Structure 1
């Protein structure tokens, strides 16, 4: 009797390494990539400033990695803050490389790693800034150059600033609706209305939870897209006011849709037509026209109908609205950076950066090893491998090793046939254009970056270094794997626990506001946004940790049940808020439901050995 075939299911750490991001190609980012590093390098070669051109091209490459879809205003912070951090790292690294001995340099790199690692726990932009600070420090200390540190830092700023300028000034291909400078904001706000419609269609089905998560992601993205600096001098820009109003009008719609999904009952198909028409109006920059009204049979449907009427009015008037987000103070940011998660993050990054610098310096001065020209490659590579927010450790190591080997072999073939420097500059231009596509997978990104960096090295006058690049990367992989699994002081899984604690505190504030039966909707929407954003960040951190090797993944066991319970509590709180608006008070059933969810959350927290903040009682 034959046995049924069992499908092979790879372990989480391997499955993550095989998974790639999906989505349409951003051709505008491809265009910016082609116009960044290569042209900068060509101008520098023509002006006989090749060394500074190489640094500017490196800065443009790093900015290109951060050049993700979104609004132009958001790109100012997303690209500008890391560039300034990189320039500071280039300045410090250059002077340290000249004046510090190997021991002092290792101590300095360890300290910078501790600082950059802790700061990276604050958020994505801070993490990118920490990465560029460390990479630029290593490059500044190890790359030989006759220019002073301030000139090299200025070249770094120019390289990143050039790409940022392209991001702000170049129109998006195919953008024909309204002011092209706001196409990112327009697409982000339209996606919110589409996500509301998708959630309404999924009400009463198994897809409702996933659609609510997608709605949270769309709201987060739109909030970030609108939260950057004004693109015009005066705040009276009609386009900006209209976009703010359209985003603000989506919040009560999202609240009503979440309440309907929480009820678990399907709604009529025509219910989602209104949000979809609003999405089209945002996307095409037109008036909404007549909107189909849903049946007003239950509080959530009445809230949805009222929200549609409010949205239609807001679209016509175009008055500005609040983004309903609380700005974190410096004290809050420092608490994250030096809290449990930040300390564990910083300690691991500092150890890896310092250890790789020490090994590289030892090899650089070892007579038996020969001249170790590119010793800075080792600590710079370790930076990308050790950053926990870039993906699980095992996945990063596998992808980095495979991408480096493939990229080095490809470059060896190109270097054998391409003329110098013209052919190498053309290769840099091609790689710059490929970076936005390659960022879908860490191995593909590593392949493209390896070819680009090796081309820059040869343009700078150094010999072909494919073999050296492979050796440095494999050594960095070994160092990071060892340090990444070393026992650390305190409780492990600090990053996940810090995110869960933040999500618990945000949910606590949101629940307390609703249970107080306050009619301050603006504050409620602010707290709701903050709660769901914190929950999404916790969910992301848990997913990354769960895909680590078992010795690391086990420290987050049970955390997914806790965040799921917090999400159910937030959804139930949203439904209670809708009922509160409809009747003016919370019913006994609402409070009993909240009390049951609090009891469930307490049990999940005990199983995960997680101390949650004291949540308010429902009675």
Structure 2
């Protein structure tokens, strides 16, 4: 992709306004926290302190809107703690230009590295840099610095207290995640009626699993509706895929297919009803026709063989989902030991070793996180120097704008840069016009600033340009409390924001960390993870007595994580102005389709694992051994840009098919489909005459 096209696409992305569900009560609660802090400081007769202290409550409020499964009071307090430390250090060093510049560079580098821990940690790190830059007073003593740090912490404490005192829709995020997973299953069932091999995005199931991980205290208080349905959703998906598949399920046409369509329609209705009940904490409401379909008639579900067993399993799972969801909402139970090992979220102190390991893993030159930390550190220092060299006040706005828009990937950095400048221009012009025409006093400016905060919280998820406009006006009114002239504020804010955005964009062009060259490595990791999942499933057919369900489950989770990493990398690479480096977009799409089919086939095979007392299958054992070797060789071939060869695996399957004499069952048919999917993968990545990927090296 050319630079012109990449810049055009990122600009459009940044200026796009999303339609999203608004949360007015939560926005009001967060705004109340900011208003309380400003009101207290104004009551003490210190407008300058009100301006600087409002940042603590403002940033803590923003953190509570992030997509984190941690309790909201913990997020607010964590942000307040980080802001207090950065405020204290910033005030101590602010009187010495070179000392503050060195502190800013080091602190910004550490904040950039926090993206290795997660997006919420990265955002908190960015906020700590911002509050360090927003230094409007210069205390001359350690006591003064501690006082300002305490005021910043007070803002976070106020937000946390309001969340505890005025809970809004408790467990709402967990309910939404589980409901979204069930709704995705319902949509999948509907699509299977018309397309028996329809794809399914496992991301809602992954989100539901993350939402189910809780602290010990949360686990003791969790509503019973949030206990069982997630596991049922995981079990329903392979059963739906199995009965719909025209190869291992029922024929494409005929009375059995019609019965399957009825079951799929009823399953979609039941899953949607359960999702609505969980989302709104209400009993399940099902239409009579759906109940009639999922009730097992005396003659059975009118199917035969493996399809009949799958239909009975589906009916049982749907009945369990309805029964579990109809439990009293307030009833709770302790988590079991098995859940305790996998679903309990560690406390914040126990996360420290994990965070340190993540930081150590990314501390290498090739890491995009490490490069981002170096990049943002250099830009913050350069912006601070330039901001003070120019004949404006508030020189910190240039590095502040740069730090707030910079992200570890090209697309977000450029789109946020364009959106922030456009939104800031609109916001400061609006605020300047209001101040110029109305000449509001100190308390009116404070009220207008609080109104801007309310709008920003309310529209936080609509886009960066909208929130930047709200923040731009907020800054004008906030500085008006301290008596800053609107003419100077508007001019400074626009010019320095533009400078900061240009510095951020220029830094990525000069010192990039492109995702495109990493696509082959991501694809190889997905091949390896999908292969391990297939090996774990077919090994259960080869050695039923030794099968371990946990091994299959862990392999499935690894495959999902590898797929998510690939999709994230591909999404970033699509926006980058660089060549594809041997993996074109068409080849990447074909490879993704083949690996998705491989995962679907493996999932179907998992739906009918044999009992432990079943006879071992020598053919399946030979297939597993060859599959393990072939997958390892294929992953290496993907990394080295060589053609994939599944000939030996195809021969092993043919031998197994010949020895089975038509009695191979589900495992043999799924193995055939698996080899076909792998052949499609080889064709997608082939560099030969018939291949799809003939890019030059």
Give 2:235's match in structure 1, choosing from 252, 260, 284.
252
Give 2:149's match in structure 1, choosing from 149, 153, 171.
153
User: How far did 1:448 drift?
Assistant: 0.6
Map Cα deviations across residues 344-393 of structure 1 (whole Å, 9 max, x no partner).
233234323423423432442x4xx43x4312211111112211469533
Closer/same/farther in 2, CA of residues 500 and 477 from structure 1, 3 Å limit: farther
Give 1:120's match in structure 2, choosing from 88, 94, 115.
115
The match for 1:3 is none
Give 2:429's match in structure 1, choosing from 376, 385, 409.
409
Matched, 1:64 2:61: yes
The match for 1:177 is none
| Rounded Cα–Cα distance in structure 2 between residues aligned with 1:78 and 1:605 | 45
| Rounded Cα–Cα distance in structure 1 between residues aligned with 2:387 and 2:316 | 70
Matched, 1:510 2:515: no
Alpha carbons 1:112, 1:350 under 8 Å: kept: no
Give 1:453's match in structure 2, choosing from 447, 472, 475.
475
The match for 2:694 is none
Deviating more after overlay: 256-265 vs 464-473: 256-265
Closer/same/farther in 2, CA of residues 331 and 113 from structure 1, 3 Å limit: closer
Question: What pairs with 1:556-595 in structure 2 (closer than 5 Å)?
Answer: 558=585, 562-580=591-609, 587-595=667-675
| Rounded Cα–Cα distance in structure 2 between residues aligned with 1:168 and 1:566 | 46
How many residues align structurally?
A: 577
The match for 2:294 is 293
DSSP-derived class of the 2:395 partner:
coil
Matched, 1:468 2:500: no
Give 1:267's match in structure 2, choosing from 261, 265, 269.
261
DSSP-derived class of the 1:373 partner:
coil
Question: What pairs with 1:122-271 in structure 2 (closer than 5 Å)?
Answer: 122-140=117-135, 144-145=138-139, 148-172=144-168, 180-203=169-192, 205=194, 212-213=200-201, 216-229=202-215, 235-237=219-221, 239-257=222-240, 259=242, 267-268=261-262, 269-271=265-267
Matched, 1:345 2:341: no
Alpha carbons 1:348, 1:483 under 8 Å: kept: no
The match for 2:571 is 543
Q: With the length of structure 1 as denominator, give the TM-score of the two structures.
A: 0.80
Question: What pairs with 1:369-388 in structure 2 (closer than 5 Å)?
Answer: 369-370=390-391, 372-388=392-408
The match for 2:543 is none
Alpha carbons 2:187, 2:268 under 8 Å: kept: yes
| Rounded Cα–Cα distance in structure 1 between residues aligned with 2:527 and 2:320 | 32
Closer/same/farther in 2, CA of residues 50 and 263 from structure 1, 3 Å limit: farther
| Rounded Cα–Cα distance in structure 1 between residues aligned with 2:504 and 2:591 | 30
User: How far did 1:485 drift?
Assistant: 0.9
> Which of these two proteins has the greater Rg computed from alpha carbons?
2
The match for 1:427 is 448
| Rounded Cα–Cα distance in structure 2 between residues aligned with 1:262 and 1:76 | 47
Alpha carbons 1:56, 1:155 under 8 Å: kept: yes
Map Cα deviations across residues 67-110 of structure 1 (whole Å, 9 max, x no partner).
338798543455444443333332332333235x43x5444433
| Rounded Cα–Cα distance in structure 2 between residues aligned with 1:47 and 1:442 | 34
Closer/same/farther in 2, CA of residues 470 and 554 from structure 1, 3 Å limit: farther
Alpha carbons 1:83, 1:132 under 8 Å: kept: no
Closer/same/farther in 2, CA of residues 542 and 71 from structure 1, 3 Å limit: closer
Give 2:316's match in structure 1, choosing from 287, 298, 306.
306
Deviating more after overlay: 411-420 vs 476-485: 411-420
The match for 1:444 is 466
- What RMSD in Å do the two structures reach over aligned CA positions? 3.9
Alpha carbons 1:385, 1:396 under 8 Å: kept: yes
| Rounded Cα–Cα distance in structure 2 between residues aligned with 1:595 and 1:88 | 57
Alpha carbons 1:64, 1:432 under 8 Å: kept: no
Q: With the length of structure 2 as denominator, give the TM-score of the two structures.
A: 0.72
Q: Which has the higher contact order (CA 8 A, sep 6+)?
A: 1
User: How far did 1:231 drift?
Assistant: 5.7
Alpha carbons 1:425, 1:455 under 8 Å: kept: yes
User: How far did 1:605 drift?
Assistant: 6.5
Give 1:32's match in structure 2, choosing from 29, 32, 49.
29
DSSP-derived class of the 2:283 partner:
coil
| Rounded Cα–Cα distance in structure 2 between residues aligned with 1:473 and 1:493 | 30
Closer/same/farther in 2, CA of residues 151 and 605 from structure 1, 3 Å limit: farther
| Rounded Cα–Cα distance in structure 2 between residues aligned with 1:471 and 1:225 | 43
Closer/same/farther in 2, CA of residues 398 and 72 from structure 1, 3 Å limit: closer
Map Cα deviations across residues 402-424 of structure 1 (whole Å, 9 max, x no partner).
11111110110122215221111
User: How far did 1:439 drift?
Assistant: 3.1
The match for 1:13 is 10
Matched, 1:357 2:381: yes
| Rounded Cα–Cα distance in structure 1 between residues aligned with 2:312 and 2:608 | 10
| Rounded Cα–Cα distance in structure 2 between residues aligned with 1:131 and 1:438 | 17
| Rounded Cα–Cα distance in structure 1 between residues aligned with 2:269 and 2:196 | 19
| Rounded Cα–Cα distance in structure 1 between residues aligned with 2:121 and 2:426 | 30
Runs of 5+ in structure 1 lacking a partner? 1-7, 173-179, 608-619
